């Protein structure tokens, strides 16, 4: 990647220097002479390559952030208001924090107490949990069980199930998730039947597609306002992101 950026930087440096060459001089020298001038200038001032690379990286990052912000604005309904998603905190809160998570993600498990702490401190925060099962078949199975519990039961049961499965040690899969369903006194047979419904398949496919549009490749990934925060960054960076939206 850096080699590609270096080539671009060299081309742009060459173009800039060529444009900076007075027209009268440019007409009297050939390409090889210009290349020699550029080469000598770069060798005498190698720091311009580093500066060019940094500028290209900054522009690339800015373009990516702008593209993500545009996607967030365009996908507000599916991002914030999907009926399939579990909502924590104040359903009418003034700021929504969206988390893309996987039940088998150790960092998601680490981040969950931070989410609970944020909700305990902020009565106006709304959190949307989007199943993003990318860590193997077990993750997909666990997500289907969780979505089935929400579809068949009340939101309180779905929140309880989510918290318990997040706290569970070891690999999450259909067997362990369904055992948890039984422990909670829910109807395992109904949940197991609902797992294979086309509606649940559609929800997972939609979440995966949305994550791809946003350029998300790992969990947990958070969306707040038009900003994306990746990883288990801790409570305070998430709180700061929420504050920045309010401001």
Q: What is the secondary structure of 61-98 as a DSSP string?
A: HHHHHHHHHHHHHHTHHHHH--TTSEEEE-TT-SEEEE
Q: Regarding predicted confidence, which is higher, 60 or 97?
A: 97
**Of the residues 66, 95, 117, which one is the last residue of a structural domain?**
66
Q: Regarding predicted confidence, which is higher, 125 or 24?
A: 125
DSSP 137: H
State mean pLDDT over 166-185. 97
- Can you give the pLDDT at residue 70? 87
**Of the residues 66, 89, 117, which one is the last residue of a structural domain?**
66
> How many Cα neighbours within 13 Å face the side chain of 188?
12
**Does residue 71 fall inside a structural domain?**
no
172 and 194, same domain (yes or no): yes
95 and 207, same domain (yes or no): yes
pLDDT at 8 over 90: no
35 and 138, same domain (yes or no): no
State mean pLDDT over 95-116. 98
**Does residue 160 fall inside a structural domain?**
yes
**Does residue 233 fall inside a structural domain?**
yes
**Does residue 189 fall inside a structural domain?**
yes
83 and 50, same domain (yes or no): no
**Of the residues 27, 46, 66, which one is the last residue of a structural domain?**
66
Least confident of 70-74, 196-200, 216-220: 70-74
141 and 41, same domain (yes or no): no
pLDDT band for position 30 (cuts 50, 70, 90): confident
Q: Report the alpha-carbon distance of residue 208 to residue 210 in Å, rounded.
A: 5
**Does residue 72 fall inside a structural domain?**
no
146 and 32, same domain (yes or no): no
CATH number of the domain at 139, please.
3.40.30.10
Best CA proximity match to 199, nearest among 154, 143, 148? 148
**Does residue 217 fall inside a structural domain?**
yes
217 and 124, same domain (yes or no): yes
132 and 181, same domain (yes or no): yes
At 141-173, the pLDDT tens digits run 999 999 999 999 889 999 999 999 999 999 999
Q: Regarding predicted confidence, which is higher, 64 or 207?
A: 207
177 and 107, same domain (yes or no): yes
Per-residue tokens: 201: 């398949």
- Can you give the pLDDT at residue 163? 98
Parent domain of 113: 77-246
Q: Report the alpha-carbon distance of residue 230 to residue 58 in Å, rounded.
A: 18
155-177 core/surface letters (b: 16 or more CB in 10 A; e: else): eebbbbbbeebbebeeebbbebb
At 61-85, the pLDDT tens digits run 666 667 777 889 999 999 999 999 9
How many domains would you assign to the chain? 2
Q: Report the alpha-carbon distance of residue 11 to residue 13 in Å, rounded.
A: 5
134 and 47, same domain (yes or no): no
**Does residue 10 fall inside a structural domain?**
yes
**What percent of the chain is modeled with pLDDT above 90?**
70
23 and 97, same domain (yes or no): no
Sheet holding 95-101, edge to edge: 86-89, 125-131, 95-101, 221-224, 227-230
At 219 the three-state DSSP class reads coil
User: Rounded to an integer, what is the distance from CA 172 to the centroid of its chain?
Assistant: 22
Per-residue tokens: 175: 């067997």
- Can you give the pLDDT at residue 14? 55
**Does residue 190 fall inside a structural domain?**
yes
141 and 236, same domain (yes or no): yes
Q: Regarding predicted confidence, which is higher, 231 or 49?
A: 231
Q: Give me the helix-helix angle, 198-214 and 137-152, nearest 10°.
A: 120
- Can you give the pLDDT at residue 113? 97
Q: Report the alpha-carbon distance of residue 51 to residue 19 in Å, rounded.
A: 19
């Amino acid at each position: 990647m850096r080699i590609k950026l270096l080539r671009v930087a060299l081309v742009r440096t060459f173009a800039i220097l060529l444009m900076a060459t007075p027209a009268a001089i440019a007409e009297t020298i050939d390409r090889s002479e210009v290349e020699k001038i550029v080469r000598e200038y770069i060798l005498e001032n190698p720091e311009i390559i580093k500066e060019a690379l940094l500028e290209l990286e900054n522009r690339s990052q800015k373009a990516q952030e702008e593209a993500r912000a545009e996607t967030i604005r365009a996908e507000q309904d599916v991002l914030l208001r999907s009926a399939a998603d579990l909502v924590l905190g104040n359903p009418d809160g003034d700021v929504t924090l969206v988390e893309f998570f996987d039940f088998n993600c150790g960092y998601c498990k680490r981040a969950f107490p931070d989410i609970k702490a944020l909700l305990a401190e902020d009565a106006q925060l709304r959190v949307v949990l989007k199943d993003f099962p990318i860590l193997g078949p077990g993750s997909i199975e666990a997500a289907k069980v969780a979505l089935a519990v929400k579809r068949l039961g009340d939101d309180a049961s779905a929140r309880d199930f989510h918290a318990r499965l997040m706290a569970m040690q070891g690999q999450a899969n259909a067997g362990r998730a369904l055992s948890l369903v039984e422990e909670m006194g829910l109807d395992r047979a109904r949940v197991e039947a609902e797992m294979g419904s086309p509606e649940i398949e559609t929800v997972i496919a939609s979440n995966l597609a949305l994550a791809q549009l946003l350029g998300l490749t790992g969990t947990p990934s958070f969306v707040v306002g038009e900003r994306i925060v990746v990883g288990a960054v801790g409570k305070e960076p998430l709180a700061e992101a929420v504050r920045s939206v309010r401001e």
